Structure 1
Amino acid sequence: MSQSSHHAVWAALLAAALLLLATSVPTARAQYETENEKEFSYVRGAKNGPERWGKINKNWTKCGTGEMQSPIDLSDKRVKLVRSLGYLNHSYRPAEASIVNRGHDIMVKFGGDAGSLVINGTTYNLHQIHWHSPSEHTVNGRRYDMELHMVHETVPNKTAVIGILYKVGNPDEFLRKLEPFLKLIADRKDEAEPIGVVDPRDARGKANAYYRYMGSLTTPPCTEGVIWTLVTEVRSVSKRQLQLLREAVHDGMEDNARPLQELNNRNISLFKPYPLKYN
């Protein structure tokens, strides 16, 4: 075989390898929550309902086959107290943001540096905040009225989410500031509305105790490897605020909570500070 033929063979093999790599490795975009809410729904039994998410799109197979899916029930029987987890290591700051009606939920997206969360030495930058109603996670079988997700990401497509549960009661101060914008974006799909500077510390609160487990995104593509932190303190939201969030999304998305997923022998850790001692 001539030298030119050798070069041609090696070129063909290299091209084939690159093609295989491109088709086998999911794109970075595929790792994140889908923006096309028309492709899926939360209606059980529907053709695009949660039971069928894994069959709708080839990038969503984890929704049906994954062994570490979210949300789950945080049952006392499965939880282990692990004080070594320590206090949440985060540093948030006010930043410019916009509010977006994604159809399946309402999202506050930060355009500036809103701070970060550090877990096991890895820094996760706060990217966005959104809401689910009713809550996706349950505690000892109890489902709450709302759940807020603070989504953090790293450059290599790693995700960490802080979840906060709510029950109907007094108004939530963070949502109070957003009420005019919730009315403004009602039924306005994918239109970003600038809302000025938003302080994520108001959304996070000051509670220290939390659950920790490994799970997934709760919307397609259901990417696994997500570090979940669920704050144990349940906060309050008014009926009116809850109604504003539910009415703003598209019809059929008012109940935008994914059904509970199997735990599959995963560990659920609980961090609680040591009780204060008084002299």
Structure 2
Amino acid sequence: MKFILSVVIATSSLFAAVSAHAIVKRAPPAGPHWDYSGDKTGPDHWGLLDPAYVTCESGMQQSPVDINKESLSRFVHCAKKALTFDYKPVKDAVAHFNGHTVEIDWTPGAKTHNNSIAIGKKQYNLIQFHFHTPSEHRINGRHADAELHLVHRNPVDKSLAVIGVLLQAQARNVPFFHYLTALQKKVHADKHSAVAAAPGTTSAIIEELLKDSVCAGTQPTSEEATKVDYPLPSVDFEPLVRALKGFTPRWEYSGSLTTPPCSENVAWNVMHDPYPIGLDQLRALVDLQGYNARDIEDSRGGSSHK
């Protein structure tokens, strides 16, 4: 699969003036601080930060992985059979930056429809979705511009299943991601200034931008940004599901969370076909969350592409 990598590194700084009505108190994140930097709180040290994170270092089925000829012959399965799913619009969702990623979540109610997927005889309900820039999974060693994770949980044993959607930038904005630029403007309380991307940007240039601008993992947002919500009256998944042909075809494998505590036995479903994201939306996403992709894991003994 060929991806045109056109990730744009936004360099605007955070303005402190966020309107008072946009501030919502949030509970501090549980556990010790971790990030995507190259220092002692970065991915190479996650397993040492807390006993609860030891799987990040000692796990044998860690994610993300590079999907290539080797992994397909060993533990990744290409599924062409339709995935059983039941998706309807979600009401009263909230988009926010949680300190690590832009996340969209909601509070289930008595009348809330449980968007779900079925794997075997197990049902998993959608609980939130979030983003990584660039993509965490790679195809034949290559990143996509970003990756969307639809996180599902079984209501009985609390096991997880994640649908990973590789995102590819295009000139036009995409309606499904309209909240990204809106959230960015609300965080900054001003229009952003971003690095403009030239048409036909090559992957080599993109890699240099990533290396020079955000590979150190420094988040361009402040702690105040984690208190800003952008309400979404409704999230309609129909355009996404239709474009992904009902989540088929896809690559399946058993892996882990890609963030601490890196718990394993996560049922991964990485979509074969990419989904578009607008350049302005990608700029907003990178501006909000920076570089937040864990390196490829080779815990199964295969070759590493770190």
* TM-score relative to the length of structure 2: 0.68
1:83 CA drift (Å): 7.4
Report 1:1-279 matches (<5 A).
35=29, 39-44=33-38, 46-79=39-72, 86-96=81-91, 97-111=93-107, 112-155=112-155, 156-170=157-171, 171-185=173-187, 187=221, 188-204=225-241, 205-207=243-245, 208-249=248-289, 254-262=290-298, 264=300
Letter in 2 for 1:163: G
Task: Tell me how large the CA RMSD over aligned residues is.
Answer: 2.4
Deviation readout 1:6-42 (Å, 9 max, x if unpaired): xxxxxxxxxxxxxxxxxxxxxxxxxxxx945971111
Letter in 2 for 1:152: H
1:166 CA drift (Å): 1.5
8 Å CA contact 1:181–1:195 kept in 2: the answer is: no
Letter in 1 for 2:70: K
8 Å CA contact 2:166–2:273 kept in 1: the answer is: yes
User: Between the two proteins, what is the percent identity of the paired residues?
Assistant: 30
1:52 CA drift (Å): 0.3
1:237 CA drift (Å): 1.8
Task: Tell me how many residue pairs correspond in the alignment.
Answer: 228
In structure 2, the partner of 1:15 is none
Letter in 1 for 2:144: Y
For structure 2, the 5+ residue unaligned runs are: 1-27, 189-220
8 Å CA contact 1:103–1:190 kept in 2: the answer is: no
Q: How has the CA–CA distance of structure 1 residues 63 and 84 changed in structure 2, closer, same or farther, with 3 Å as cutoff?
A: closer
C-alpha separation in 2, matches of 1:117 and 1:65: 30
Q: How has the CA–CA distance of structure 1 residues 194 and 114 changed in structure 2, closer, same or farther, with 3 Å as cutoff?
A: farther
Q: How has the CA–CA distance of structure 1 residues 114 and 99 changed in structure 2, closer, same or farther, with 3 Å as cutoff?
A: farther
Deviation readout 1:137-177 (Å, 9 max, x if unpaired): 00011111100000001122200000010122243331135
Task: Please identify the structure whose Cα radius of gyration is greater.
Answer: 1
8 Å CA contact 2:80–2:249 kept in 1: the answer is: no
**Secondary structure at the residue paired with 1:79?**
helix
Letter in 1 for 2:297: Q
C-alpha separation in 2, matches of 1:159 and 1:82: 18
Structure with bigger strand share is 1
Letter in 1 for 2:60: E
In structure 1, the partner of 2:7 is none
1:247 CA drift (Å): 1.4
C-alpha separation in 2, matches of 1:40 and 1:83: 33
**Secondary structure at the residue paired with 1:78?**
helix
C-alpha separation in 2, matches of 1:68 and 1:116: 24
Q: How has the CA–CA distance of structure 1 residues 102 and 203 changed in structure 2, closer, same or farther, with 3 Å as cutoff?
A: farther
C-alpha separation in 2, matches of 1:53 and 1:131: 20
* TM-score relative to the length of structure 1: 0.75
C-alpha separation in 1, matches of 2:85 and 2:103: 21
**Secondary structure at the residue paired with 1:226?**
strand
1:213 CA drift (Å): 0.2
Letter in 2 for 1:58: P
8 Å CA contact 1:94–1:114 kept in 2: the answer is: no
C-alpha separation in 1, matches of 2:276 and 2:117: 24
For structure 1, the 5+ residue unaligned runs are: 1-33, 267-279
